[in-house]
Amino acid sequence: MKKLLLLFILVYAMNLMAQEKTISGVVTADEGYTLPGVNVLIKGTTVGTVTDLDGAYSITASGENVLQFSYVGMQSHEVAVGNQTTINVVLQSNVALLQDVVVIGYGTVKKKDLTGSVSQVKAADIAAIASASPALALQGRSAGVQVINNGLPGSSPEILIRGVGSIQAGTNPLYVVDGIITGDIRNLNSNDIQSIDVLKDASSQAIYGARASNGVVIITTKKGSKGKMKLSYQGYYGFNIIGKRVKMASSQFYEQYTNEALLRDDKPAAFFGDTYPINTVWLDEVTRTGQLVQQSVTMSGGTDEITYLVSFSYNGDKGVLQKNDFSRYTLRLNNEYKIANWLKMGNILSLSTYKANYPNTGVYNSAYRQGPNVPVHDSAGNWGNSNNINNVGNPVASLAYYHNIGKGYQIQASFWGQADLYRELNFKSSFGLDVGNDQSKYYTPYFIASPSQQNLISNLSVSANQQYHYTWDNMFNYGRSFNGKHNLDATAGVTMEELNSTYLSGYRQDVPPQENYWYLNLGDAATATNGNGGDKWRRFSYVARGTYNYGGKYFITGTARYEGSSRFSEDNRWGFFPSAGVAWRISAENFMKDSKVISNLKLRASWGLVGNDNISTNLFLYTIATGISYPFGEEIQNGSTITDVKDPNLTWETSQGLDIGLDYGFLNDRLYGEIDYYKKNTKDLLYPAPLPAILGSTSYITNIAELVNQGIEFSINWRDEISKDFSYSIGGNFTYNKNEIIDLANGLPIDGGSLGNGQTVTRTSVGEPVGSFWVYETDGLYQTEEEINATPHFPGTKIGDFRYKDNNEDGLLDNEDRIFVGSYQPVFYFGINLTLDIKRFDVQVGAFGNMGNKVYNGKKAQRWGGENIEASLEDRWTVDNTNSTTPRAFNNVPVASDYYVESGNFFRFSNITIGYTIPLESKVISKLRIYISAQNPYTFQAFSGYNPELPGGVMNSGIETNPIPTTGKYLFGINLDL
Amino acid sequence: MKKYMIKLLVTVISMVLVTACTKEFLDVKPEGQITPEGYYSTPARAQELVNSIYNNMLTWDEHSFSWIGITSIASDDADKGSSAGDTGADKDKLDNFTYGPTDISVNEIWVANFRGISRTNLALDILPKIAIESKLKNRLKGEARFLRAYFYWNLVRTFGDVPLINSVIDPTNSVQVDQAMIRAPKQQIYDLIISDLLYAKDSLYNKGQYENADLGRATSGAAKGLLAKVYLYQKNWQASFDMAAQVINSGEYALVDDYSTIWREIGENSSESLFEVQAVGGPIALGVQQYSLVQGVRGQFGWGFNSPSESLNNAYEENDLRREATMIYPGEVLWDDVIILASLPNPRYNQKAYVSRTQETFNGNDEQSNKNLRVLRYAEVLLIHAEAANELGNATSALQSLNLVRQRAGLDDISVTDQSQLRQMIWNERRVELGMEHDRFFDLVRQGRAAEFMGPLGFIAGKHEVFPVPQSQIDISGGLLTQNNY
């Protein structure tokens, strides 16, 4: 009671002190021009005004009031009135484009000072992604970045930055997490990430030298900041549900079709009588509703001496495929210490551990192929089987006896110190460590599901992989502004790196079936085999970058990396990767400074050389292959020889990239975006050049191909704040890319896209995109024997089969008649993002899509005799249905033809989230938001199969042989800040 | 200022330390990989080099599906088998003589045998430089040359003229590579095979001279036997007769009593065996990749390819014990009491490829089964002897050898002495004695009877005697390789 009284007196006293006065001033933007229409508000009241056409305002307030200045596209600004009567305010732009700092490798730069092309995705957009890999946050977010994901728990999506840039040396970008170069980012908790920056043009990438040509993805994790401790909790729970399904045949139709196909080959029917209904829906039998959970807690804060951030998270992902799940714990500790005025030190420490039951994805394949008339179990309780009809096992039995589990941990840590040496010159040394350990067990028990699906002796394979990787960067930095006009920033230093990895594997038979017995020691020692190997490489590089701008108008950047790699022979070890970029910020010129329409206009151009050496170590060295053994007298004797032809002059692939871009902003940057043209010419592509078999080997890796990616990227965004309670934004990004092979070894094409049945469906050939579909061209169905005899046809062709075009008109059907019908690479891809804030509600919608690419319906084209068919074949050619375009029932290996090539166009809603911030009168809780989110809820697709997103490697992508369905994730989540 | 100097100095020193040893830093020895310098210097290493040539015989492309396709499915001894829809990539085409240069089987046979030849040439290049006692060195060279002869023998029978490679080719020397690509006339290949086998015959150990641990290595007897067969193909009757006689008179070999045991585990490396590809299906399995699986009873043990034909089934005389030992019929009870399913897509399966899961070594791994591939056995030497003798007009000697083989099969002796009639009988005997043993196709071509027997299956005389040279190899050669009549 006493306290209350005291408070009352205090408040009364303060009121007495309040002296109302008139305050006036002018509000200008950081670019120098005055801002009309700025909201000026006395904090905590509804009293306010707006600035006039000259940016001037006047308001009555008292000394203890605080004025709030807010304007769309600008950071809000608060000023305590105090004794002032004139308050002039400069508002900083908060448009991503201008104010944001982007991370460019060994440094940062303001987006507005950038001469290259870098896309950034921010924390809020990353945290929302329910996936083990934060890389999925890039999906549909920025032009030039294509993310292809199969959706399996714990999987890593494929990322293509500005097209397919390599055939043999991988296409995934280089990941740099807080300065540590790494190959995988599945150890990261999305909530820990501050930003993801994608270096897209060669001038930005060149600082990473021989590994950067597929682009660089730089991830920066959150740090603590000075002030009171903040604690936040992020959690969600949700379901994972199969999206599109393909309707398969009923038992009746399956049996009819199978008999018809046999009859066609003059074989007796397989099914008699009409005991039809079993109608097993195999996909349902092997799948379930998946579940997703995340719990994440972050604490951060700091004093003048120390800032800290601690986070802990758990992620659980139970896949739709039975027995497939992935869970992960992460712990992070990011600290920074101010030792002296001139010395700072810090650490990053990230620990993650995972456990996985790996998917038996082959079951999706057998579920597609197994007949619907086969029961999961027969009436006697035995596994149903289809022996004598087809080679497909019982999918449920396959799952039941499949055990493939993994666990592991990863430590990513760095320790750094930064010293101010002399005036603006400072030095930073940073030692980063990336240590990983993965263990797996693969156990197959004794079982007999059917005569052709059995394993008579149990066996266990275990493996352990370890990786140690360190990076040590030593960098000088000098940044200074002369006369406020000449702005110079220079970075130079050295970096060294070593990777050392080992694997150890073992195998034994006759291990008991209980999971706690799955150890090699409990198996039969006489059956033991083991393996052990390792890898080691080092790099040493000199790195330099200089940027200069004059008055914020004219920018020039130059970088260079001189890199030595132990992966190549001494004579071919060192490479030089220079780059240069210029920019002209037209909107900063006097003639445009006062424009009310154009708020930002910057023209950029850049050029650079980058490399790609992502191949096995020691490929330039002849090595002896051991274990080329042979059993003499019942004992296996070791054999060894040289099996592979090597190229001693092997070197990295080199890309020369050119980028011309324009950044624009209109109406105070309410409308903004970028346009870029790029051309990336990759030479010395590592490629398995075919060798004559008389040399004892059929191919060898050498630098003997060339390809080009060129394209246009365009992004456009509109944002507006209609009122305090209603703001929205809409953005789109669009990419056109053309990929073309310029040269291959001896001009010989390379075939890929094997369906595993002797048919290949892609060809990588000069003048075409990598991995183009290359197939026979169908020309309707044969209706009469005469038609068949009058045209070239494959042996065994019957009425109702496809007529294939003899395109070279030589009277024969062979590979010469195949045609190119497009590739899996989209001509055009895009993303659309929308946000809406209405009072306490917030809405985010994300969507992306592809156009102009093709997919191959591999599962349908892979059919062996007697396997299930899709219900759509009801409409096949029969003697009574001769107008059909679907061929008659057949058991032959389907010929690779355009019939199986379908449009890959799709438009997918990747994310729809609706959140609500609960109003709370709490001193403890500063924010409580609940949300529901749907990820991948719906896809408009042309493809008749399960999923048009089909990762699979450079020459085998876009082929749906193993149908992994798209899954939709539906989440309920909470964000809580204290 | 002093403070700055200290800081600067510390930094510069650390930078210098970092950069000083760049050269050493980047000289990383290949981790976990052996480089050739100095490696092949001991007898054990020399042996490894030769063992790797034997290893080639276990590969999928040397002796498994494609070899089965070319030597057996293409012949009148077997049909494709399996289910109607499963073509085995091109086995339907081999069965019907509709295959072409782009089909996979011909490429696999080409690649696998040249890989074996290349490993041999490397071994023959390195062996002379290794300091080991000459007897072992000569034996190892003999083994290598025996195997090279075998690989070339497969190539010359399959393709006719092929490139002759008898030394290591430098892949970076394009002149040398181009030169090597040109096909040598068949006769030159035969000359190389014969010279290799003559060398092998003299430098290899006899069967009895090997340690038990070396069981399965090429022997002098094997070289003589193969030489007898090569001379037979060359119609060099006297040389063939002499070689066969040397084997017979050596006393090292004898027919086993029970024909049905020859291809079983108990018949491995028997008194009848001159040369066989060794396989172990024990705890650690290493066999001819998927050889048994490909031919296993469909729906019960394997894929069911290479189904013995009606024609082979009918080729046996009544009471010939060999038919039951060669065939598996649906519904029958096998020697190991296994009941074969009654309802199967094919009427017959190859019993010579069958591995018992209960009575023989079987570790659950049917991809690497215990089945030894019998390449050359004494019964065939007797039949070669008989054929050569008959061609030389020595019917008595011919009948003597022929009847030994017939007696074992439970058949009556033959006494026909008419050369032409006897020739037919010996050829018939070859077919049933060696049924499903990868001999029939080449035997018919050699005899000049290919069109007669395989014509109804699609064989065209003047074309199908040899298989097409793989198109991919022609493409890589830039046209230096020429095609057969395809």
Chain segment B256-277, per-residue pLDDT in tens: 999 999 999 999 999 999 999 9
Query: Among the CATH numbers 3.10.129.10, 1.10.1060.10, 2.170.130.10, 2.70.150.10, which is that of A95-222+471-494+505-716?
Result: 2.170.130.10
pLDDT tens per residue across span A157-194 = 899 999 999 988 889 999 999 999 998 899 999 999 99
Q: Which residues of chain B lie closer than 8 angstroms to A625, CB-CB?
A: 52
Residue B304 to residue B350: CA distance in whole angstroms: 9
Each domain of chain B, given as residue ranges in start order, spans 38-204, 279-371
The boundaries of every CATH 2.170.130.10 domain in chain A are 95-222+471-494+505-716
Cβ of A418 under 8 Å from any chain B Cβ?
Answer: no
pLDDT of residue B331: 93
pLDDT of residue B299: 78
**Regarding the domain delimited by A19-93, which CATH topology (the fold level of the hierarchy) does it fall under?**
Immunoglobulin-like (2.60.40)
Which strand (E) or helix (H) includes residue A177?
A: strand A174-177
pLDDT band per the 50, 70, 90 thresholds, residue B15: low
pTM of the model: 0.86
**Regarding the domain delimited by B38-204, which CATH topology (the fold level of the hierarchy) does it fall under?**
1.25.40
pLDDT, mean of residues B384-405? 97
HSE-CB at A661 with a 13 A cutoff on CA atoms is 34
- Tokens 């599901």 belong to residue: A449
pLDDT tens per residue across span B427-456 = 999 999 999 999 999 999 999 999 999 999
Q: Which residues pair with A422 in a beta bridge?
A: A425
Kindly state the tokens that stand for A939.
Answer: 């896809």
pLDDT of residue A15: 47
Q: Do B163 and A695 touch (CB under 8 A)?
A: no
A669 φ, ψ (degrees, to nearest 5)? 65, 25
E strands, A586-705, are 598-612, 625-626, 630-632, 635-637, 640-641, 653-666, 671-683, 686-690, 699-703
pLDDT of residue B19: 63
pLDDT of B162 > 90? The answer is yes
Kindly give the parts of chain A with pLDDT less than 50: 1, 5-17, 96-97
pLDDT of B18 > 70? The answer is no
pLDDT of residue A976: 94
pLDDT of B146 > 50? The answer is yes
**Could you tell me which residues come within 8 angstroms of residue B64 by beta carbon, excluding any fewer than 6 positions away?**
B288, B289, B290, B291, B294
Residue A254 to residue A251: CA distance in whole angstroms: 5
Residue A674 to residue B445: CA distance in whole angstroms: 73
For residue B330, the SS3 value is coil
CA angle A925-A928-A930, nearest 5°?
Answer: 160
For residue A599, the SS3 value is strand
pLDDT tens per residue across span B269-327 = 999 999 999 999 888 889 999 999 999 998 788 899 999 999 999 999 999 999 999 99
For residue B281, the SS3 value is strand
Measure Cα distances from B418 to A204, A284, A285, B384, B484 in Å.
Answer: 90, 73, 71, 17, 38
pLDDT tens per residue across span A633-674 = 878 999 999 999 999 999 999 999 999 999 999 998 899 999
Kindly state the tokens that stand for A43.
Answer: 């904090």
Residue A348 to residue A432: CA distance in whole angstroms: 9
Residue B138 to residue B145: CA distance in whole angstroms: 10
Which of A935, A915, A976, A911 minimizes the C-alpha distance to A317? Answer: A935
Question: Average model confidence (pLDDT) for chain A?
Answer: 90
Residue of A637, A701, A776 to mutate when probing chain B, most B C-beta within 10 A: A637
User: Do residues B42 and A626 make contact, with C-beta atoms less than 8 angstroms apart?
Assistant: no
pLDDT of residue A17: 46
Q: Are strands A56-62 and A118-122 parallel, antiparallel or unpaired?
A: unpaired
> Would you tell me how many other CB atoms lie within 10 Å of the CB of residue B396?
10
Distance from CA of A341 to the nearest CA of B (A): 13
pLDDT of residue B2: 61
Chain B: residue nearest A507 by CA?
Answer: B284
| A663 residue type, one letter | D
User: Do residues A246 and B68 make contact, with C-beta atoms less than 8 angstroms apart?
Assistant: no
Chain A: residue nearest B89 by CA?
Answer: A758
pLDDT of residue A97: 45
| B476 residue type, one letter | I
Q: Do A639 and B49 touch (CB under 8 A)?
A: yes
pLDDT band per the 50, 70, 90 thresholds, residue B3: low
Cβ of B296 under 8 Å from any chain A Cβ?
Answer: no
Chain B: residue nearest A496 by CA?
Answer: B18
Cβ of B47 under 8 Å from any chain A Cβ?
Answer: yes
Q: Which A residues in the span 874-913 are in contact with B, Cβ-Cβ below 8 Å?
A: 890-893
Cβ of A636 under 8 Å from any chain B Cβ?
Answer: yes
ipTM for the predicted complex: 0.96
pLDDT of residue A12: 46
> Would you tell me how many other CB atoms lie within 10 Å of the CB of residue B73?
28
pLDDT band per the 50, 70, 90 thresholds, residue B44: very high
Distance from CA of B225 to the nearest CA of A (A): 21
Question: Average model confidence (pLDDT) for chain B?
Answer: 94
Chain B: residue nearest A755 by CA?
Answer: B89
Cβ of A44 under 8 Å from any chain B Cβ?
Answer: no
pLDDT, mean of residues B199-214? 95
Cβ of B347 under 8 Å from any chain A Cβ?
Answer: no
Number of CB pairs, chain A paired with chain B, less than 8 A apart: 259
- Closest partner residue to B30 among A267, A538, A621, by Cβ? A621
Which of A573, A209, A539 minimizes the C-alpha distance to B18? Answer: A539
Cβ of A445 under 8 Å from any chain B Cβ?
Answer: no
- Closest partner residue to A388 among B27, B110, B344, by Cβ? B344
